Amino acid sequence: KKAPIRVAVTGAAGNIGYALLFRIASGQMFGPDQPVALNLIEIEPGMAALRGVAMELDDCAFPLVAEIVQTSDLSVGFKDVDWALLVGSVPRKQGMERADLLGINGKVFVGQGKAINDYAKSSVRVLVVGNPCNTNCLIAMKSAPNIPDEQFFAMTRLDENRAKTQLAHKAGVAVKEVSELCVWGNHSPSMYPDFENAKIGRSKVTDVILDQAWLRDTFVPTVGQRGKAIIDARGASSAASAANAVVDTVRDLSNPTRGDLHSVCVISNGEYGSPAGIITSLPIRVDGAGKWRVVEGVKLSDYAKEKIAASNQELLEEREVAFGQLGLSI
């Protein structure tokens, strides 16, 4: 009998949490034979709603769920976890500057990083979803010195999935035909979805979609602005698709990669000219031993290099503002 994988989810009573927990519990993240224990973490005002979500999880009678913990105490919530999915964060409110948001969330991620450092398994893997996710992830990583940097991730898979679908629609093919599409840089409108190295079937995207102007001037901004377009249409930010991307990311980090590559924000060691020491989105594959590596040999055009550099510049600026407010050093 397999031991359960213990997964902490912060912001568990929020919109993404509501779309995510049931998929983890049903086996879509770790497979149909793998029991899971769920550590659901909320802030005090979210605890009543969390109780309701936990009641619904109970009412699904999922055979894989070994235990459900509900807590606002990080020493309980992160105790012995294998995965920490950091979804909760404070949304930007009217009149709030970006710098304020970086500072407010920064404090939260210092606390969560420390608690992960002190209470989680040393093999814990951390995926940050709450925005600004790259910088929040970097702050959590810095606050958890005993956990290797390679175990920290932030999410750009939703952007990759969005980009693949846009290309599939334009080319009139099924989305599964689109592969090797890496989103580079910051999870923000400045991200760069690299259509020049992506494929449709066995062909280069640029040999199938010949309209360069569409690729540069419609596709790239459509992917970058998709989050806002969802908010405008739905009156609320992406939740089910974000949860789906969390499932995709964790599943793909947990299994050897077959064929395709994936976009994940990871610690940069200077690959492809990205500044070392930031959490930025890069193309990765997972090997047979379960270790991820940045894909080598991707050829970037001057146009792509410029886009990626601009997005990484934004990350350097976010780091400067957040670290300044938190008194962290690089």
Check whether 17 is labelled as a binding-site residue: yes
Q: For residue 92, say whether it is annotated as part of any ligand binding site.
A: yes
Closest CA to 171 of 144, 138, 198, 134: 198
70 annotated as belonging to a binding site for a ligand: no
Binding of ligand NAI at residue 131 (CB under 6 A)?
A: yes
Interface with ligand NAI, residue 185, by CB under 6 A = no
Which of 161, 166, 238, 244 touches ligand NAI (CB under 6 A)?
A: 238
- Residue 64 or residue 128: which is nearer to ligand NAI going by CB? 128
By CB under 6 A, is residue 113 in contact with ligand NAI?
no
**Number of residues counted as binding ligand NAI (CB under 6 A):** 28
Binds ligand NAI (CB under 6 A): choice among 63, 91, 221, 290: 91
43 binds ligand NAI (CB under 6 A): yes
Footprint on residues 11-40 left by ligand NAI (CB under 6 A): 11, 13-17
| CB nearer ligand NAI, residue 82 or residue 248 | 248
**DSSP track, 33-96:** T--EEEEEE--GGGHHHHHHHHHHHHHHT-TTEEEEEEES-HHHHTTT-SEEEE---PPPPTT-
Cα 293–Cα 189–Cα 184 angle in degrees, nearest 5: 20
Task: Look at the alpha carbons of 256, 260, 265, 270 in this order and tell me if their dihedral is positive or negative.
Answer: positive
**Annotated binding residue at 11?**
yes
- Could you say whether residue 224 binds ligand NAI (CB under 6 A)? no
**Is residue 133 part of the contact set for ligand NAI (CB under 6 A)?**
yes
CB atoms within 10 A of CB 11: 23
Q: How far is the CB of 142 from ligand NAI (least distance, A)?
A: 17
Task: Considering the complex, state which of residue 187 and residue 307 has its C-beta at the smaller distance from ligand NAI.
Answer: 187
142 binds ligand NAI (CB under 6 A): no
Q: Judge whether 112 is annotated as a binding position.
A: yes
Answer yes or no: is 131 a known binding residue.
yes
In the bound state, the residue with its beta carbon closest to ligand NAI is 14
Question: How far are the Cα atoms of 43, 160, 178, 245, 285 from residue 260, in angstroms, in the given order?
Answer: 38, 12, 9, 16, 8
- The catalytic residue among 6, 157, 164, 187 is 187
Cβ-contact 304, 310 below 8 angstroms: no
The site string for ligand NAI over 239-278 (x = CB under 6 A, - otherwise) reads x--x------------------------------------
**77 is known to lie in a ligand binding site:** no
Binding of ligand NAI by 46 (CB under 6 A): yes
User: Is residue 13 a known part of a binding site?
Assistant: yes
SS3 of residue 185 by DSSP? strand
Contacts of 38 (CB under 8 A, 6+ apart): 7, 9, 21, 24, 25, 57, 65, 67, 68, 69
How buried is residue 63: exposed, middle or buried, by Cβ count under 10 Å (0-12/13-18/19+)? exposed
Helices (H), the chain: 15-25, 47-60, 74-77, 98-119, 133-142, 157-171, 205-208, 212-214, 220-224, 226-234, 240-254, 302-326
Q: How many residues can be counted in the chain?
A: 330
| DSSP code, position 99 | H
**Is 187 in the active site?**
yes
Is 191 a residue that touches ligand NAI (CB under 6 A)?
A: no
Residues with a catalytic annotation lie at 187
Output the known binding site for substrate.
Answer: 92, 98, 131, 162
Which residues lie near ligand NAI (CB under 6 A)?
A: 10-11, 13-17, 41-43, 46, 87-91, 108, 129-131, 133, 155, 158, 187, 237-239, 242
Output the known binding site.
Answer: 11-17, 92, 98, 105, 112, 129-131, 162
Output the known binding site for NAD(+).
Answer: 11-17, 105, 112, 129-131
